[in-house]
Chain A
Amino acid sequence: MAAALPSRADATCFALCAGPALWLAASSMAGGLGPNPLDRLLHVSGRAALWLLLVTLAVSPLRRASVQLARLVHARTGKRLADWNWLIRLRRMLGLFSFFYALLHMLLYATLDAGLSWSAVAGDLAERPFIALGWLGLLLLAPLAATSTNSAMRALGPWWRRLHLLAYAAALLGLAHFALQAKATQAGPWPETAALVLLLGGRLRAWWAGERQPAVEAQRPARAPGGTAT
């Protein structure tokens, strides 16, 4: 097991993920969020949540690709190429950061925009559908964050993967939430849409092809990991 390897990857990933939050905190203290600070806060936090969720969903396809590459080269280094377990560990961090930004986004909205007034929140839900989509997306992310621990993974067994497929639904909701608030004269979130279509398409194709288990090279019984007879 490559236990010592990921510490640097973990640290880099953490720094990158925390970047937008640190930037927002520093800018707001320095008064550098522009003429409409609330708008800036909401946009940056929301965008970070959506992008990180898309990156989280890209981890599985990346590992799948690495496994295929390993099979392709048939080399003794195949195991090394395919051993992207550290990506899975990053995936947890990425997903949790996505939830963190979604939560921050909601809290900024609830306090600075809605003024912690239930009637304001209820009125928004009734009058603006995209806000309801945002709430729903956050609601779907919450149980995923809550079951991200090793013990929860063990306790849930096969249900963990099924539960965590909700990440796709949350991404769809987040994307719709983002697209519906864009103004008419502005370009819609096409890059994010394209990314999600690719990710969802890849997932469905893999599912269709019968790959309903995690993409791990070791699952292939024909060749022992590392290529050496044991």
Chain B
Amino acid sequence: MPPRPSEITPQAVWDTRRSFVQAALALAGGLAAAPARAQGEAANSLDEISRYNNYAEFSSNKDVVWKLAEDFRPTPWTVSVEGECEKPRAWALDDLLRRHAQEDRVYRLRCVEGWSLVVPWRGFPLAALLADSRPTSRARYVAFEAVMRPQEMVGQRRPSLNWPYAEGLRIDEAMHPLTLVVSGVYGQPLPAANGAPLRLAVPWKYGFKSIKAITRIRLVEQPPVTAWMQAAPSEYGFYANVNPEVPHPRWSQRRELRLGETAKRPTLPFNGYGADVAALYAGMDLRQQF
């Protein structure tokens, strides 16, 4: 029986990890080229991360989602991988988390609404999950589907979006090492408001691409149509890369409010992960394919 995540690192210790790492780096005598994580930026508190959420399955009001999500049951849970692959399979949550080593990664999260967070996620690369099913050469896109439970998710009783929530990635985006299947935050299981028990973290895209409460993953040949593309095609494209040059009619994409701060700061192309992911889009006009 593996230790429960909460048994590993008390949050108080976790909170100090960056100063520990920075001290270690300083001792090592230099600023090591930090991998594309949100190094050097203070992580937001668990309250900021889990009590201000866009999760339309519960409510369009970010301040009440955590309350409405309290009775959501994240276990038992299965997630299926199917479609254009040699070994389709439905995974029980426990089997999945045992099979893949959980890593802690601090990512920036930029919401399309002009606010952002720094989150210490826990999870494993999506690539590892997909590789287990051996995608065929026809698998050019990945379609994700979230849970449909109007009994527990009051927002799903209104057709504010075409439920269940759907998202998608190109196969190279899905296989990118930064793309994470998230099972926890701050070393603890994911709070319901953050998409328990399993969600994506695709840090160079707007937050709505990081689908919550995933139940179904399909490898497909054609680009999937996402929930937001259906709701407002002029505002939300398939790629939804963080891009200050593509305006949105309501929110400035040139700057963002980091939760906990008073004034806005500039938004970086690809949310600051350009060095890692810009090559995925070589030759594309990202103003057109937004």
Binding site for B on A (CB under 8 A): 34-39, 111-115, 120, 123-124, 127-130, 180-186
Query: What are 20 sample pairs from A and B whose C-beta atoms fall under 8 A apart?
Result: A34-B63, A35-B48, A36-B257, A37-B262, A38-B257, A38-B264, A113-B264, A115-B263, A120-B252, A120-B254, A120-B255, A128-B250, A128-B252, A130-B250, A182-B250, A184-B160, A184-B232, A185-B56, A185-B231, A186-B61
**Interface pair B255/A115, CB less than 8 Å apart:** yes
The 4 residue pairs across chains A and B that have the minimum distance between CB atoms: A127-B247, A35-B52, A185-B160, A185-B60
Q: Contact check: which of A36, A115, A184, A185 meets B115 at CB < 8 Å? A: A36
**Interface pair A113/B252, CB less than 8 Å apart:** yes
Binding site for A on B (CB under 8 A): 47-48, 51-52, 56, 60-63, 113, 115, 160-161, 231-232, 235, 247-250, 252, 254-255, 257, 259-260, 262-264
Instruction: Kindly provide the distance from the CB of B88 to the nearest chain A CB, expressed in whole angstroms.
Output: 33
A183 to B232, CA, bound (A): 11
Residues in A with CB closer than 8 Å to B262 are 37-38, 112
Instruction: Kindly provide the distance from the CB of A111 to the nearest chain B CB, expressed in whole angstroms.
Output: 7
CB within 8 Å for A112 and B264 given contacts A127-B247, A128-B250, A184-B231? yes
Residues in A with CB closer than 8 Å to B254 are 120, 123
A9 to B264, CA, bound (A): 41
Instruction: Kindly provide the distance from the CB of B196 to the nearest chain A CB, expressed in whole angstroms.
Output: 19
Q: Contact check: which of A113, A128, A186 meets B60 at CB < 8 Å? A: A186
What is the chain A residue whose CB lies nearest that of B158? Answer: A185
A124 to B259, CA, bound (A): 21
A39 to B111, CA, bound (A): 14
A36, A111, A180, A186 interface centre (most CB from chain B within 10 Å): A36
Residues in B with CB closer than 8 Å to A35 are 47-48, 51-52, 259-260
A181 to B251, CA, bound (A): 8
Instruction: Kindly provide the distance from the CB of B278 to the nearest chain A CB, expressed in whole angstroms.
Output: 23
A114 to B255, CA, bound (A): 8
CB within 8 Å for A38 and B263 given contacts A113-B252, A183-B113, A185-B160? yes
What is the chain B residue whose CB lies nearest that of A123? Answer: B254
Residues in A with CB closer than 8 Å to B56 are 185
Residues in A with CB closer than 8 Å to B255 are 113, 115, 120
**Interface pair A185/B161, CB less than 8 Å apart:** yes
Residues in A with CB closer than 8 Å to B263 are 38, 111-113, 115
Q: Contact check: which of B48, B51, B60, B259 meets A183 at CB < 8 Å? A: B60
A186 to B56, CA, bound (A): 10
11 more A-B contacts (CB under 8 A) besides A38-B262, A184-B231?
A: A35-B47, A36-B62, A38-B263, A115-B263, A120-B254, A123-B254, A128-B247, A181-B250, A183-B60, A183-B250, A186-B60
Residues in A with CB closer than 8 Å to B235 are 184
**Interface pair A36/B60, CB less than 8 Å apart:** no
Instruction: Kindly provide the distance from the CB of A30 to the nearest chain B CB, expressed in whole angstroms.
Output: 14
Instruction: Kindly provide the distance from the CB of B39 to the nearest chain A CB, expressed in whole angstroms.
Output: 23
Residues in B with CB closer than 8 Å to A112 are 262-264
A127 to B248, CA, bound (A): 7
A39 to B61, CA, bound (A): 13
A150 to B264, CA, bound (A): 42
A113 to B264, CA, bound (A): 5
What is the chain B residue whose CB lies nearest that of A128? Answer: B249
What is the chain A residue whose CB lies nearest that of B247? Answer: A127
**Interface pair B60/A180, CB less than 8 Å apart:** no
Instruction: Kindly provide the distance from the CB of A183 to the nearest chain B CB, expressed in whole angstroms.
Output: 7
What is the chain B residue whose CB lies nearest that of A187? Answer: B60
CB within 8 Å for A130 and B249 given contacts A34-B63, A35-B259, A120-B255? yes
A128 to B160, CA, bound (A): 23
CB within 8 Å for A39 and B257 given contacts A115-B263, A184-B231? yes
